[in-house]
């Protein structure tokens, strides 16, 4: 129908995974990869997804999948544009709504 769309950016901190998805050569050492992981490779080949490398330090998904220290959590929350409320701040906000 002539409709165009932008590729979906996907950020990955594993250069080997990016290389496997972007290279059409099948290697003997990659044959053990589960079939479900080939979905991303197919989407890259179809032009739906574009893979980008991001250093582990800036991997924002870590906030949701890893146990992190307070400083690291605050850094990632800030990068995502999120806000972190203390229990006292939440109580103040609730009191304002009740008034």
Q: Return per-residue pLDDT of the chain as tens, 99 residues.
A: 666 678 999 888 888 888 877 776 666 666 666 666 778 888 888 889 999 998 888 888 888 888 989 898 888 888 888 887 888 888 888 888 776
pTM for the full predicted model: 0.59
Residue 27 φ/ψ region, left for φ over 0, alpha for ψ in the -120 to 50 degree band, beta for the rest: beta
């Amino acid at each position: 129908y002539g409709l165009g769309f932008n590729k979906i950016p996907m950020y990955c901190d594993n250069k080997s995974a990016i290389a496997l998805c972007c290279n059409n050569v099948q290697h003997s050492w990659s044959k053990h990869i589960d079939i479900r992981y080939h979905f991303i490779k197919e989407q890259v080949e179809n032009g739906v997804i574009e893979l980008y490398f991001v250093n582990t330090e800036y991997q924002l998904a870590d906030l949701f999948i890893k146990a992190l220290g307070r400083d690291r959590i605050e850094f990632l929350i800030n990068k995502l544009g999120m806000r972190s409320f203390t229990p006292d701040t939440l109580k103040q906000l609730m009191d304002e709504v009740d008034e």
